[in-house]
Amino acid sequence: MTRMSRDPFEWEEDFQRLGERVDDFFDRVFGLAATPRYGLQQTWRPSVDVYRVADHVSVIAELPGVEEADLKVVVEHGRLRIAGNRRAVTPGPGAEPLQLEIDYGPFERFVALPPGVDADRVTAQFRAGLLTVHVPLRAQTHTVNVRVDDPTK
């Protein structure tokens, strides 16, 4: 029987994704996305893709309609925090809404990062509504076998 070992970081990612999907499910089923959460302002959850590459982690967040000045990207407590605000757009005064599906307002996403990230070298680009965050990983230490000599021989 072959056992597959998994990095604890991978389990944390799986549970984070599961929690977000459960939240999204209840939001859609019970209409919670249209009501303020936790007694605060209405929020929305941008879609995020996370990739582990040989020497870094890439995070791509889909943020159409968000201005760069309204974005905040921070690495804190082993997590990447992407926060900001998407401002409501209306066609003009007196416009009567017939169908409203676009979420506006503040948002915040957290992405668990693996151990060994180099927070001082994180970079980000924002282009065409996509935020791409490049999180470098420090060089992994490697194991060195040390030969032990018997001085009495």
Predicted TM-score of the model (pTM): 0.67
> Which pLDDT score, from 0 to 100, does residue 40 have?
45
Task: Round to whole Å and give the CA distance between 131 and 97.
Answer: 30
Radius of gyration of the chain (CA): 22
3-state helix, strand, coil in the chain (%, to 5): 20, 35, 45
Torsion of the alpha carbons at 139, 55, 52 and 58, rounded to the nearest 10? 120
* Strands ordered across the beta sheet of 48-53: 48-53, 56-62, 130-136, 123-127
Tell me: the pLDDT tens digits for 27-53?
656 655 444 444 445 578 899 999 999
Which helix H or strand E contains 16, and what residues bound it?
Answer: helix 8-30
Tell me: the pLDDT tens digits for 46-73?
999 999 998 999 999 999 999 999 999 9
For the chain, which domains are there? 8-91+102-136 (2.60.40.790)
